Every structure is written in structure tokens, then in C-alpha cells.
């Protein structure tokens, strides 16, 4: 198909600059891309008919990892003080 209709995984390395030129990199276009990615994730892992808790637990695990990484320096300072 045309280059502008292909997904990133379908684009060859030599076509990457031209493919990036067809993307909408405005704030509104980036927000639309984030919304599309969220909807895809939600429909694949959370909003399924016979799905288990896998999608929700994956989202919760990601939140825990992100929260831990944000607070890592604070946690490491507290654990250093507690050891003395």
C-alpha cells in the first residue's frame, strides 16, 4: 500500500525518513496517536469478552514500576538512613 497508510513495523529502514514526513507531528496529531494507542491497548487487553485479569494486572504492574522509578532516589536515601 501507499507509504502513508503503513504502520511503523511495516516500513523498511530506507523508507523511514519519507514515512516520518507523512506523519502529523503537531500536538493535536500526537494526541490522536496516543489516543489510538490507548484504544488499541484497551480493546486488546482489557475490553475482551473472555479475558482474564491479565490486561488490568499489566496496567497495574506498569504503574507500580513507573511509580517506583519516579521515587527511586527518595527510597534509596531513606533505606540508607535506616541502615545506620
User: Shortest CA distance to 46 belongs to which of 33, 60, 35, 34?
Assistant: 60
Residue range 15-42, pLDDT digits in tens: 988 988 888 889 998 899 899 989 988 8
Please give the Cα distance from 57 to 20 (Å, whole number).
Answer: 34
Mean pLDDT of 12-16: 89
In tens, the pLDDT along 37-76 reads: 899 888 888 776 665 677 778 889 989 998 888 777 766 6
**Please, what sign has the CA dihedral across residues 11, 1, 39, 24?**
positive
Q: From CA 27, how far away is CA 78, in angstroms rounded? A: 39
CB 41 within 8 A of CB 51: no
Amino acid at each position: 500500500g501507499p507509504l502513508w497508510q503503513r504502520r511503523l513495523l511495516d516500513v523498511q529502514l530506507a523508507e523511514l525518513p519519507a514515512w516520518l514526513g507523512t506523519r502529523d507531528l503537531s500536538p493535536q496529531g500526537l494526541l490522536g496517536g496516543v489516543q489510538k494507542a490507548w484504544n488499541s491497548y484497551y480493546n486488546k487487553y482489557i475490553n475482551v469478552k473472555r479475558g482474564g485479569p491479565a490486561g488490568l494486572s499489566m496496567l497495574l504492574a506498569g504503574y507500580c514500576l513507573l511509580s517506583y522509578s519516579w521515587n527511586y532516589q527518595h527510597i534509596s536515601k531513606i533505606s540508607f538512613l535506616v541502615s545506620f
